[in-house]
C-alpha cells in the first residue's frame, strides 16, 4: 500500500516528542509538508532536526505556538495558509485521586484536551470544505471508553473529544472532508514512562516496570505490551490519505485490543 501525500500541508499539534513526533515523521515520509508544533523554539528545532534525520528531503516547518491560546492558534493558522490535514494530538494526562481534582484542574484538562482541538477544527474546516478535501484527526485514548479510576478527568476529556469528532464529521458531511478520532491504547512515550513509575516500584528496571504496569493496571491488553508511537502514526497516515475517503465520523482503535468491546 503506497500512500502519497505530496502537495498536502499537515499541522500536527504537540509534535515535538512521543506520539506527535512519530505522526509528524510518518506524514513527512508520505510526502506531506508538515508543520511541527511546540511551545518553545528549542523543542521545535530539535524535532525538525529529528524528522530530517529520519526522512530524506523531509518538507517540515516550525509552528511555535501555545495551541491552548486563542491568539497564538489563530496566528499559526494564518501563517501556514491552507491546511489540508489537521492532527489534534496535543494533550495532557496524569494520575490523581478523584476526590482531590479541583475545578481548576478539570478546566485545565478540558482547555488542553478538548477546546484546543475544537478551536483548531473550527478554524481550518471552512478552508477544507471550500477546497473539497481535508482530514481532521483527533488523537483520543482508550481512557475515553474505559475510564481509569486513577485519572477520571483525563478519561472524561477524551470522551468529550470523541463527541467533538463525531459532531464535526456531521458538519463536514458531503464536502470531501473527513473527521475521525484515533483511540490510542497504552503507548510507550517518555511521559508514559513517568506515569508508569507513579504506579509501580521506581526501583524496577524499565522492562520489568512495564510488565508490572500492564499486569496490574492494563490487564485487558491483548498484546500485553505498550504500543510504540510509530504504530499510532501508521493509522494516522492512512486516515490522512485518499485511501481512507469513506471513513469519517469514526473512532478508530489502535489500542492493542485493550477496549473489551466489538465497537468503541
Would you please indicate which residues are annotated as catalytic (active-site) residues?
Answer: 154
Contact present, 221 and 214 (Cβ < 8 Å): yes
DSSP 159: H
The position carrying cell 505556538 is 65
Burial 24-44 (b: 16+ CB within 10 A, else e): bbbbbbbbbbbbbbbbeeebb
Task: Give the torsion through C-alpha atoms of 73, 78, 80, 82, to 10 deg.
Answer: 110
Q: CA-based Rg of the chain, rounded to a whole angstrom? A: 18
CA–CA distance, 253 with 181 (Å, rounded to integer):
8
Q: What are phi and psi of 8, to 5 degrees?
A: -105, 145
The widest CA-to-CA distance across the chain, in whole angstroms, is 55
CA–CA distance, 96 with 126 (Å, rounded to integer):
38
- H/E element holding 254? strand 251-254
The position carrying cell 502514526 is 233
Amino acid at each position: 500500500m503506497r500512500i502519497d501525500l505530496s502537495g498536502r500541508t499537515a499541522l500536527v499539534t504537540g509534535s515535538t516528542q512521543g506520539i506527535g513526533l512519530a505522526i509528524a515523521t510518518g506524514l513527512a515520509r508520505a510526502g506531506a509538508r508538515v508543520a511541527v508544533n511546540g511551545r518553545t523554539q528549542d523543542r521545535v528545532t530539535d524535532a525538525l532536526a529529528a524528522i530530517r534525520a529520519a526522512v530524506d528531503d523531509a518538507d517540515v516547518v516550525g509552528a511555535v505556538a501555545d495551541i491552548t491560546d486563542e491568539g497564538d492558534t489563530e496566528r499559526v493558522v494564518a501563517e501556514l495558509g491552507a491546511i489540508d490535514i489537521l492532527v489534534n494530538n496535543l494533550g495532557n494526562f496524569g494520575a490523581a485521586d478523584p476526590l482531590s481534582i479541583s475545578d481548576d484542574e478539570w478546566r485545565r484538562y478540558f482547555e488542553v484536551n478538548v477546546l484546543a482541538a475544537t478551536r483548531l477544527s473550527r478554524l481550518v474546516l471552512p478552508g477544507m470544505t471550500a477546497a473539497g478535501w481535508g482530514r481532521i484527526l483527533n488523537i483520543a485514548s482508550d481512557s475515553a471508553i474505559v475510564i481509569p479510576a486513577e485519572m477520571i478527568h483525563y478519561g472524561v476529556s477524551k470522551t468529550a473529544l470523541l463527541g467533538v469528532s463525531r459532531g464535526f464529521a456531521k458538519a463536514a458531511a458531503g464536502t470531501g472532508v473527513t473527521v475521525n478520532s484515533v483511540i490510542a491504547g497504552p503507548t510507550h512515550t517518555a511521559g508514559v514512562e513517568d506515569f508508569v513509575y507513579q504506579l509501580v516500584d521506581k526501583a524496577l528496571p524499565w522492562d520489568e516496570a512495564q510488565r508490572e504496569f500492564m499486569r496490574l493496571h492494563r490487564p485487558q491488553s491483548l498484546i500485553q505490551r505498550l504500543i510504540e508511537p510509530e504504530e499510532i502514526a501508521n493509522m494516522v497516515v492512512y486516515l490522512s490519505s485518499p485511501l481512507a475517503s469513506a471513513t469519517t465520523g469514526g473512532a478508530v482503535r489502535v489500542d492493542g485490543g485493550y477496549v473489551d468491546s466489538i465497537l468503541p
